[in-house]
């Protein structure tokens, strides 16, 4: 009986940590200046729901690069994850994008909050934790870009140099 209890607890712990590891799905070419998309399964909702997914929730992802640079990227409600092609207005997909500026290991941490007009509140602690991906974290490895020629991803960030064009 005692062995069965221990085995049951072990299975629950494994399932819990497995769900944390798969909490954010990293997609895209994992290269400098290429778009990296981080997708999450969040609350099932719709564009007309209450709370409204565009104002009643806020997803912020803090990305930290190999040199310690941090970028807080606002996320968004992506309906079913393919709304541009399917015209869906319901779903549970939430996303954030980053174009990493350096090779190496990048880390991320998600903050998912809910509350009245929390999406436009300047206080990062506004509202209350909304569960789902809130507090989840992970990492991914970025390689050098392989783009050349007219592809700007091979040239780095566009910068104003004080000249016309």
> pLDDT per residue over 17-45, tens digit each?
434 444 799 999 999 999 999 999 999 99
Residues 6+ apart with CB under 8 A from 53: 43, 45, 46, 47, 77
Task: List Cα–Cα distances, 23 to 27, 60, 136, in angstroms.
Answer: 13, 15, 7
> pLDDT per residue over 71-81, tens digit each?
999 999 999 99
pLDDT of residue 75: 98
**Whole-angstrom distance, CA of residue 51 vs CA of residue 129:** 14
pLDDT of residue 3: 57
């Amino acid at each position: 009986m005692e062995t069965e209890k221990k085995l049951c607890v072990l299975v629950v712990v494994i399932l819990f940590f497995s769900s944390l590891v798969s909490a954010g799905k990293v997609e895209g070419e994992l290269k400098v200046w290429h778009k990296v998309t981080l997708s999450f399964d969040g609350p099932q909702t719709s564009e007309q729901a209450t709370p409204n997914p565009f104002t009643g929730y806020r997803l912020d992802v803090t990305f930290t690069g190999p040199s310690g640079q941090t970028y807080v990227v606002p996320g968004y409600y992506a309906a079913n994850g393919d709304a541009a092609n399917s015209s869906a207005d319901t779903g549970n997909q939430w996303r954030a994008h980053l174009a990493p500026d350096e090779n190496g290991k990048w880390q991320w941490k998600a903050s998912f909050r809910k509350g009245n007009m929390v999406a436009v509140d300047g206080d990062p602690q506004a509202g209350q934790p909304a569960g789902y991906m809130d507090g989840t974290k992970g990492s991914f490895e970025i390689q050098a870009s392989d783009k050349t020629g007219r592809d700007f991803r091979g040239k780095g960030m566009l910068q104003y140099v004080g000249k016309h064009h």
